[in-house]
Amino acid sequence: MHFRIRAFRATTDPEACIKFIAGHSHVLETVGVNKVTSSNNEWMFNPSSFAIIVESLDGSKVYGGARINVADGISPLPIEDATGYMDENIYAMVKSLGTEGTAELCGLWNTREVAGYGIGAFFATRAGVVICEQLGVKSIWALCAPYTVKFAERVGCIVVKDLGNNGTFYYPKIDLLATAVLMQDAQEMITADPYEISRIIDLRKNLRQTTKEIVPFGKLEVEIEYNLVLDNIAKDEFKIKPQNFCY
């Protein structure tokens, strides 16, 4: 199969954001989840939100994607809204990391049509780590479903055992478990799998490229056309002092 993965500031492409939202909402509904904090529509109007979309080469069909929401001191990260009422320590952690730039990888999804190809769970995750260099973000949060923890760990995330019950929460509903993970250094990636480090570095050097990828933990091969260039990002735009957080 052949896909395109591209990244953009959410406010620059409302049409693509609407397709993303529709696809994500449909996937959630099929598993009995009507609402999660990362699926509300407000992010598409937030200049601190960046979408990673997996689509057909002509752009007519969206197969999945993910988002990077950057801490800006104005809007809480989805993980703060999701877990703060259960463990308020998340607020202090986000503020502390905000001085060097912190963000959340969230809203991962893919259609059943491409299940097994790693589209939402993995390749969009990798792309999220790639674009954090352009954003000047040092750390990345994520709230993972059980089957996606291994993908997050592969790119360098570790379970945040100081939150919740050894890093876990019942979310988005009481019979589902989510795990809070954190990539402490998205620039150096010292805890990532060596192969992932090499792929991420290559993608950061060549943000536009077409390459064949092997799906991790499987044998499927996909061809991906990447366009991960973000326009008009100001230097240190997302380095926020704790005292400047408005919430």
Residue 247: inside a domain: no
Q: Distance between CA 180 and CA 79 in Å, rounded? A: 8
Residue 76: inside a domain: yes
Hey, how many other C-beta atoms are within 10 angstroms of the C-beta on 136? Answer: 19
Domain of residue 103, CATH code: 3.40.630.30
Q: Distance between CA 79 and CA 37 in Å, rounded? A: 8
Tell me the pLDDT band of 221, cut-offs 50, 70 and 90.
confident
- Residue 118 phi/psi, 5-degree rounding, is 75, 15
Q: Which domain holds residue 159?
A: 2-230
**In the chain, at which residue ranges do the beta strands (DSSP E only) sit?**
2-9, 49-55, 62-70, 102-110, 139-144, 158-159, 168-170, 177-183, 208-214, 221-227
Tell me the pLDDT band of 204, cut-offs 50, 70 and 90.
very high
Q: Distance between CA 209 and CA 227 in Å, rounded? A: 7
Q: Is it the case that residue 122 has pLDDT exceeding 90?
A: no
Task: Kindly write down the DSSP assignment for every residue of 143-185, as one continuous string.
Answer: EE-GGGHHHHHHTT-EE-TTTTBTTEEE-SSTT-EEEEEEES-
- Asked whether the beta carbons of 40 and 213 are under 8 A apart, the reply is no
Residue 170: inside a domain: yes
Residue 114: inside a domain: yes
Asked which of 70-74, 122-126, 140-144, 212-216 is least confident by mean pLDDT, the reply is 212-216
Tell me the average pLDDT across 72-101.
95
Distance of CA 101 to the CA centre of its chain: 15
Tell me the average pLDDT across 6-21.
95
Q: Distance between CA 82 and CA 50 in Å, rounded? A: 19
Asked which of 7-11, 16-20, 101-105, 234-238 is least confident by mean pLDDT, the reply is 234-238
**DSSP β-bridge partners for residue 54:** 5, 64
Asked which of 3-17, 22-36, 65-79, 138-152 is least confident by mean pLDDT, the reply is 22-36
Residue 192: inside a domain: yes
Number of structural domains in the chain? 1
* Residue 32: predicted pLDDT: 67
pTM for the whole structure: 0.92
Residue with tokens 């990002």: 233
Distance of CA 166 to the CA centre of its chain: 22
Residue 245: inside a domain: no
For 28-40, how does the pLDDT look when each residue is reduced to its tens digit (9 = 90+)? Answer: 877 666 666 555 6
Residue 246: inside a domain: no
Q: 114-119 — which CB contacts under 8 Å span 24+ positions?
A: 114/1, 114/3, 114/54, 114/63, 114/64, 116/215, 116/218, 116/220, 117/1, 117/215, 117/220, 117/222, 118/151, 118/213, 118/215, 118/216, 118/218, 118/220, 118/222, 119/3, 119/54, 119/63, 119/64, 119/222
Let me know if 142 is exposed, middle or buried by CB neighbors in 10 A (0-12, 13-18, 19+). buried
Q: Under the phi-then-psi rule, with left for phi > 0, alpha for psi from -120 to 50, and beta for the rest, what region is 60?
A: alpha
Q: Is it the case that residue 82 has pLDDT exceeding 60?
A: yes
* Residue 36: predicted pLDDT: 62
